[in-house]
Amino acid sequence: MIRTGLGYDFHRLVTGRPLMLGGIEIPADKGEEGHSDGDALLHAITDALLGAAALGDIGEFFPPSDPRWKGADSKKLLVAAWNRVLAAGWELENLDCVIALQTPKFLPWREKVCASIAHTLGVGADRVFVKAKTGEGIGPVGTGEAIEVWANCLITREEE
């Protein structure tokens, strides 16, 4: 059986917060506002994987109203969700993500971010890819007010 999953996340960018992408802190003037560490990339990936397996979504598993997730490391949220997907017998074929971020440049960080995500999921680095686009200076992304992320995954399971 083959399933695809799509995840999306949007966070406001504010001063005084770290910019977290895929579990890596990227030097930047602003970072994601959020209840957890705000890692929009990991949140989108978590939703893609849960959605592909039809197991729920990140808001259900880790409600922002729950004080346990305040400042939480999003890698831990992803691992908890991914363990549920693995327990249902699924394997990750690949994960491909798009970040919409005006600044800073993502390319110098790409290899490190992809490796971090692959390591967190316990898969080979060749199964994870992340690319970035700017907002062309307009809209909430282009003016540096927000970050948007899309994640698409393919998971497979042997059927008896």
Q: Does 148 bind Mg ion (CB under 5 A)?
A: no
Nearest to Mg ion of 36, 102 (CB atom): 36
Token pair for 102? 């005006």
Q: Does 9 bind Mg ion (CB under 5 A)?
A: yes
- Work out the burial of residue 103: count CB atoms within 10 Å of its CB; fewer than 13 is exposed, 13-18 middle, 19 or more buried: middle
Q: Does 75 bind Mg ion (CB under 5 A)?
A: no
What is the rounded CA–CA span in Å between residue 126 and residue 40? 21
Helix (H) or strand (E) holding 78: helix 74-87
Nearest to Mg ion of 43, 75 (CB atom): 43
Distances (CA, A) of 102 to 1, 30, 73, 85, 136: 38, 11, 24, 33, 7
Nearest to Mg ion of 121, 151 (CB atom): 151
Segment near Mg ion (CB under 5 A); pick from 3-11, 48-56, 82-90, 136-144: 3-11
Q: How many residues bind Mg ion (CB under 5 A)?
A: 2
Nearest to Mg ion of 74, 124 (CB atom): 74
Residue identified by tokens 């995840």 is: 7
Nearest to Mg ion of 9, 148 (CB atom): 9
Least Å distance between CB 58 and Mg ion?
Answer: 7
Least Å distance between CB 10 and Mg ion?
Answer: 8
Residues 43-72 that bind Mg ion (CB under 5 A): 43
Strand 30-32 with 2-15, pairing = antiparallel
- Residue 91's SS3 state is strand
Least Å distance between CB 36 and Mg ion?
Answer: 7
Site residues, Mg ion (CB under 5 A): 9, 43
